[in-house]
Amino acid sequence: MSGMWESRMRESVMREARMSGRRGGAHEGPARGPRGLRGPRDHDVHVDSGTAGLDARLVVERGGFRLDVALAVAPGEVVALLGPNGAGKTTALRALAGLTPLTGGHLRLDGTDLDRRPPESRPVGVVFQDYLLFPHLTALDNVAFGPRCHGATKAEARAQAAAWLDRLGLADHAGARPRRLSGGQAQRVALARALATHPRLLLLDEPLAALDARTRLEVRARLRRHLADFEAVAVLVTHDPLDAMVLADRLVVVEQGRVVQEGTPSDIARHPRTDYIAQLVGLNLYRGEADGHTVRLAEGPALTTTEQLSGPVFVAFPPGAVTLHRTRPTGSSARNLWRCEVNGLETHGDQIRADLTGELPLAADLTTVAATELDLHPGAEVWATVKATQTHAYPV
């Protein structure tokens, strides 16, 4: 399943990167619709400390784990913390909400220091992973809970809550208890509940993880619209690259408690800097020393690229750009030719992904028919070629 998203995301990435004309199609890629209206999104994300937005350096030390993540987010911007499980994303989110105390760093929101404030007096709204809607309250009272705590009378709070539910298209479900709501509805109630306190910082922890694949698509699109409408800072945490790409303006990739890369979704997808990101976006990634069109890898052969660079670089190419042959191809124009051995095969969406070892360890995608014709099996010797035009080199 993750393979499907991965390949789908790769498609959209490739489309944006104009690297490959091989695939395409009208998938639910990051077609930036209404968000364009909101103004610049891919640039001017720099935030001065002491002004509007979030400026934080979150340091949390616990046991042998150390989280140290710097975050600067402008109002109206949606940032996704993306990373594998156990990377510290949720800890970062909890630290922002005040549920986990900082052991160092700082946390400023709209110029105000928050790091000493308890969670109940921070202007923060949280949508938890499994929503944590209070099971004994109706949807309406769940949403009214925040306004009530902020001093509204029961009637006022309910009126506000009703308005929020209406806005999120849930007016018909106001009287329902959480267990009567579908996953998508529960998520919207949780969003309404978080928004009803007018937070200056909205936090979403794996907002789509609790949904099944079918609901996910619809909810993701809907959530993106709501996030686009939100005028303050939004930070979401996810391990799903597609969710991150669709929902966020900017990604911050966290691995082992540290930020390893940040940038726009398309930038990160095109220029992955760690194996984790490369795997997420479905690219083969290598690091080497460039000299003109040639990149000499630290261990292994040289690669020919179209870019002309010098110094340390990354080289990336998608598995679909790899062509496999059982015998050494003659007369092939590809200059990137390596002898490899099939290490493993697995189905990957409607394709077969071959995991190759040898001169250059790489992943290659091919159709089921091609895999049969080539008689691929673990241990089989193959020749892999990649056209220089299919590779992409960029400075480290």
Partner 1 sequence: MTGPNDRPGDTADRIPDGPRSRRVRGGPRSRRVRGGPPSRRLRGGPRAGRVRTGVPLALLLPALLGVAFLTFPLIALLVRTPWQSLPEQLTSAAVWQALRLSLLCATAATAVSLVIGVPLAWLLARVDFPGRGVVRALVTLPLVLPPVVGGVALLMALGRNGIVGQWLDAWFGITLPFTTAGVVVAEAFVAMPFLVISVEGTLRAADPRYEEAAATLGASRFTAFRRVTLPLIAPGIAAGAVLAWARALGEFGATITFAGNFPGRTQTMPLAVYLALQSDPEAAIALSLVLLAVSIAVLAGLRDRWMSAG
The C-alpha torsion from 255 through 257 and 260 to 266, rounded to 10°, is: 60
For residues 194 and 247, which CB has a smaller minimum distance to partner 1 in the complex? 194
Binding of partner 1 by 22 (CB under 8 A): no
- Residues 328, 383 contacting (CB under 8 angstroms): yes
CA nearest to 79, candidates 65, 96, 67, 66: 96
Binding of partner 1 by 164 (CB under 8 A): no
- Residues 330, 383 contacting (CB under 8 angstroms): no
Q: Which of 53, 76, 83, 146 binds partner 1 (CB under 8 A)?
A: 146
Binding of partner 1 by 317 (CB under 8 A): no
Instruction: In whole angstroms, give the CA distance from residue 271 to residue 277.
Output: 9
Phi, psi of 255 (to 5 degrees): -135, 130
The C-alpha torsion from 356 through 360 and 363 to 367, rounded to 10°, is: -70
CA nearest to 128, candidates 55, 191, 47: 191
User: How distant, in Å, are the alpha carbons of 63, 155, 324 from that of 159?
Assistant: 46, 6, 64
Size, binding site for partner 1 by CB under 8 A: 23
Q: Which of 38, 106, 197, 300 binds partner 1 (CB under 8 A)?
A: 197
Q: Which of 135, 311, 331, 379 binds partner 1 (CB under 8 A)?
A: 135
Roughly what angle, to the nearest 10 degrees, separates helices 183-195 and 154-167? 130
For residues 127 and 342, which CB has a smaller minimum distance to partner 1 in the complex? 127
Segment near partner 1 (CB under 8 A); pick from 102-110, 145-153, 166-174, 268-276: 145-153
For residues 10 and 188, which CB has a smaller minimum distance to partner 1 in the complex? 188
C-beta atoms surrounding 244 within 10 Å: 26
Binding of partner 1 by 97 (CB under 8 A): yes
For residues 194 and 303, which CB has a smaller minimum distance to partner 1 in the complex? 194
Q: Which of 21, 118, 331, 379 binds partner 1 (CB under 8 A)?
A: 118
Binding of partner 1 by 121 (CB under 8 A): yes
Query: Please, what is the minimum distance in Å from the beta carbon of residue 179 to partner 1?
Result: 13
Binding of partner 1 by 326 (CB under 8 A): no
Binding of partner 1 by 383 (CB under 8 A): no
Binding of partner 1 by 136 (CB under 8 A): yes
Half-sphere exposure of 191 (CA within 13 A, CB side): 28
Question: Rule CB under 8 A: which residues touch partner 1?
Answer: 97-99, 118-122, 124-126, 128, 132, 134-136, 145-146, 149-150, 193-194, 197
